[in-house]
Amino acid sequence: MRSFLSQKKEFKFGSFVYNYDLVMQDRQTLGLTVRPDLGIILKCPHNAESERVETFLKRKWFWLERQLSFFKKYQRKTYQKEYVSGEGFLYLGKQYKLLVQRSNEDKVTMTKGMLVVHTTRSVLDGKYTKRLIGDWYDKKIDQVFRDRYEQIKSRFEYKTMPKLVIREMQKRWGSFWGKDTVVLNPRLIHASRDCIDYVITHELCHMKHRNHDENFSKFLKRQYPGWKKIKDKLETTGVHTN
């Protein structure tokens, strides 16, 4: 199996100039990703001709501009959370407004578009509120991921099933390690359930087909029809599958 090769490339289209990383791998298809830092990655087969790559980039030009504009806009809006009432938090693809209120017990609840933190400390104690929210997210991550994993793995007819591990990753929603481990990024809890299901399905497909070749694509399509639309939705959050 050949390892991947990476090159710095430039693509010109009209008055636009894009610098991107061309990553050559053991795969059949071409794939384009835009990172939150505006980095552009194009993955292609080792034997892909430059004309094929150029044609692909021209066809993806509008999508590329839209993704870059999205992240530029997002970067302008990014700010450090203070964990006070009024801030927004994502959970399973939906935005919830934070409400912090004094209580005789510490707990976090959700109701009518609100993420409510009941705290025994001051409502202005952002550090303590952050800890309560973090603990709540951790419980939801474990609960939701394991529930979805059980549901999705039942669609596969493997004799043995990979174990599930939850671990932070900088550039991926999920990964398949070794021969028996599916890894999910905890930040996936911010995405919708169909996105979570897609990532789990994608990684479970790697147990049968390790590379992104034609056989993998056919198997993924059979296991998750319409996966491309879900993948596009997931990519707008800035992390991508392998």
pLDDT of residue 242: 45
pLDDT higher than 50, residue 10: yes
137 neighbors 115 (Cβ within 8 angstroms): no
Q: Which of 26, 51, 77 corresponds to the end of one domain?
A: 77
Residue 99 lies in a domain: no
pLDDT-based confidence at residue 1 (cuts at 50, 70, 90): very low
pLDDT of residue 77: 52
* pLDDT mean over 91-106: 95
More confident residue, 131 or 26: 131
**Where are the alpha helices (H) located in 48-125, listed in sequence order?**
50-59, 61-77
Q: What is the pLDDT of residues 189-233, one digit of tens each?
A: 999 999 999 999 999 999 999 888 889 999 999 999 999 889 888
pLDDT of residue 79: 57
| 149 and 231 share one domain | yes
Q: Which of 45-54, 79-88, 102-111, 211-220 has the highest mean pLDDT?
A: 102-111
Residue 192 lies in a domain: yes
* pLDDT mean over 128-145: 97
More confident residue, 68 or 150: 150
- Torsion of the alpha carbons at 66, 24, 224 and 39, rounded to the nearest 10: -30
* pLDDT mean over 13-26: 87
Q: Which of 28, 54, 77 corresponds to the end of one domain?
A: 77
Residue 86 lies in a domain: no
pLDDT-based confidence at residue 241 (cuts at 50, 70, 90): very low
pLDDT higher than 70, residue 89: yes
pLDDT higher than 50, residue 240: no
Question: Mean pLDDT of all residues in the chain?
Answer: 88
> What tokens does 196 get?
């979570």
Closest alpha carbon to 93 in 180, 164, 13, 189:
189
Strand, helix or coil for residue 233: helix
- Torsion of the alpha carbons at 157, 163, 166 and 172, rounded to the nearest 10: -50
* pLDDT mean over 154-177: 90
pLDDT higher than 50, residue 107: yes
Q: Which pTM does this prediction carry?
A: 0.72
How many Å apart are CA 182 and CA 184, to the nearest integer?
7
Q: What percent of the chain has pLDDT over 90?
A: 62
Burial category of 183 from C-beta neighbours within 10 Å (exposed 0-12, middle 13-18, buried 19 and up) = buried
- Domain with 194 in it: 145-235
Residue 93 lies in a domain: no
How many Å apart are CA 165 and CA 155, to the nearest integer?
19
Residue 58 lies in a domain: yes
Q: How many domains does the chain have?
A: 2
Residue 129 lies in a domain: no
Q: Which of 31, 50, 77 corresponds to the end of one domain?
A: 77
Residue 90 lies in a domain: no
CATH number at residue 167: 3.30.2010.10
* pLDDT mean over 93-110: 95
Q: What is the pLDDT of residues 35-73, one digit of tens each?
A: 877 889 999 998 899 999 999 999 988 888 888 887 776
Residue 133 lies in a domain: no
